[in-house]
Amino acid sequence: MSPELSEEMYRRIYRLIKRQIDPRVIANTLNIPLRTVESIIGRFGRTSPDELTSDTGLDSKETTEKGFLDIYNYPKTRYSIIQLVGTLTKEYVNQFNDELEKISATAIKALAIRMSDLSSIDSDGAGVLIKYFEHFHAHGKYFALLDPSSELEASLNTLKVTETIPIFGTERAFEEAAFSHRSPGTIKR
């Protein structure tokens, strides 16, 4: 392992590679140089993420037993998609909050949080979602949730997130709503 990256960072990179995430997206998500990501992939001694197995030196069993939150940023032309994988609980709220803070400072006009791979959320996670919905709304930007997993829907209802934040099943439905919505405080074409 390289002294400049922590063991947790290697674990995150490994999980991203296993999920067949493009190296450019990994570099963007983790805010590390693309060369570093490519070098780490090369150190695994494999060229294809399909060929990676749990015997590469990282104990994936340990990683899956603990909760985790991976945040993938997929910037588009007018909006951005943030994909959450893992659990959005008190332990990971600061990590998520930092990512949303960075994104809210950019020129994007809309943000969707893809939740299809999120296994659980608690009141702290819901609080951050509602806080940033209100922040985006106050700045004339659009904020929505995208494709929550079936396990997550009950939690979102219980936490009253569904009463505040719009939820869409597809990215296309989100984009149409974000850029055709005419109510005050949201973006216009």
Name the residue ranges covered by the structural domains of the chain: 7-65, 69-180
Q: Tens digit of pLDDT per residue, the chain (189 long)?
A: 444 777 777 877 877 787 778 888 888 777 888 888 888 888 775 544 454 444 444 444 444 446 788 899 999 999 999 999 889 999 999 999 999 999 999 999 999 999 988 989 999 999 999 999 999 999 999 999 999 977 788 899 899 999 999 999 999 999 999 998 555 344 443
Alpha-carbon gap, residue 103 to 48, rounded angstroms: 30
Alpha-carbon gap, residue 136 to 187, rounded angstroms: 10
Q: What CA–CA distances, in Å, run from 173 to 64, 123, 131, 179, 180?
A: 32, 27, 23, 10, 11
Report pTM: 0.66
Closest CA to 136 of 95, 165, 96: 165
Please tell me the CATH code under which domain 69-180 is placed.
3.30.750.24
105: Cβ–Cβ under 8 A, 6 or more apart, which residues?
none
- Name the strand (E) or helix (H) holding 120: strand 110-121
Closest CA to 29 of 86, 74, 69: 74
Alpha-carbon gap, residue 90 to 28, rounded angstroms: 24
